[in-house]
Amino acid sequence: MQDVFISIRGRVSLNAEALNMTESVGNYVKHRRVPIMIREDDGSYAIYFTPAISGESIAHGLQATIAEKAQETNPPQPVCKLCKKQIFLKSSNKQIVKEAFDAEIDEESIEETIISRCIVEDIGGFLYAEKTNVKRTSNFYTGYMIPTYESLRNVVIEPQLHSRYALGTKFVKDQGQMLYYVEVSSSIYTFSLDIDTRYIGKLTFNIENAGKQVINNSEKLERVKILLDAVESFLVENRYGAKKTRFLPLAEWESMAIAVSDRIWTIPSPFTNDYLKRAEEKREKINHGTRLYSFEKGSFEKFIAEAIEEIKSRIESS
């Protein structure tokens, strides 16, 4: 198979969302906030504290989708017991490894064993922290979703009051639930995801044998295809963030760019709305076999499906 570097940047409108909450203080649940610095019109810089959705939250959603897709293929790709349940402890110690793989694993060959037996940890990395530390870096890169430049000055976070009192019943006096607040926000958010297929299925940790392929070429191709199917489902179904049983946001992709290249080639930041144009300009100057797909209007599902299909045929053709 042909290794590729895939870069995805987008802008998504999310209304009435509580996708990434941090601590709760008493009966008050806080939305995640990050400081964002921007240049004002007079040339000075200002910090805005804005709502955000963390990269960890995005990674969780993508890995959950990978675990699911891996089990849908025929034959299913290996996923460890814990990742299968979307519990991403990812081989962090001996006990977890034993539970996840139903076996004691030799620390000498731990990366090799985990790569061959769990696609989620092959793609998304792990950190085994015992006397011997073994670290596998994720093969995909993502980060915070933040309000776009044009929406940032107008974003607010609003605490919404909720109650579950059952007035008129005997339960209210002793067991009535307190009123509670959930911070909700709305914004056009940025989105970033890069994927490098080079090290999928390969050892990376120990310098002596880094680069050694653990699975064969057709297995690797299968894994990358599962990853691509997971990315498609992840984006079309907006499978990032939490608290969606009662705070399911109204979500709509405004724009997106997907680039596929022979080696590292990233799409410029979608923070400002000219990123599609800047991506095209960059491609004219720097091109590593780069094919660029852009979406601004029309069917988002069709755009993604076509791009993913073309990427699949590209990785197969070698």
Write down the least CB distance from residue 109 to Zn ion, Å: 16
Q: Which is nearer to Zn ion, 63 or 261 (CB)?
A: 63
Residues in contact with Zn ion, counted by CB under 5 A, come to a total of 5
The position carrying tokens 């080639």 is 265
Write down the least CB distance from residue 244 to Zn ion, Å: 24
What is the number of other CB atoms lying within 10 angstroms of the CB of residue 101? 18
What mask, x for binding Zn ion by CB under 5 A, covers residues 121 to 140? x-------------------
Q: Does the footprint of Zn ion cover residue 111 (CB under 5 A)?
A: no
Write down the least CB distance from residue 195 to Zn ion, Å: 19
The position carrying tokens 């197969």 is 316
Q: Does the footprint of Zn ion cover residue 228 (CB under 5 A)?
A: no
> Which H or E run includes 183?
strand 180-196
Query: How far, in Å, CA of 252 to CA of 289, rounded?
Result: 30
| Residue 89 exposed, middle or buried by CB count within 10 Å (0-12, 13-18, 19+) | middle
Q: Which is nearer to Zn ion, 18 or 115 (CB)?
A: 115
Q: Does the footprint of Zn ion cover residue 118 (CB under 5 A)?
A: yes
Write down the least CB distance from residue 238 to Zn ion, Å: 24
Tell me the sheet residues that pair with 291: 260
Contact 10, 268 (CB under 8 A): no
What mask, x for binding Zn ion by CB under 5 A, covers residues 36 to 75? ----------------------------------------
What is the number of other CB atoms lying within 10 angstroms of the CB of residue 26? 8
Question: In the window 254-313, what residues touch Zn ion (CB under 5 A)?
Answer: none
Contact 199, 139 (CB under 8 A): yes
Among 6, 36, 80, 105, binds Zn ion (CB under 5 A): 80
* Strand, helix or coil for residue 20: coil
Among 83, 231, 235, 304, binds Zn ion (CB under 5 A): 83
Q: Which residues bind Zn ion (CB under 5 A)?
A: 80, 83, 118, 120-121
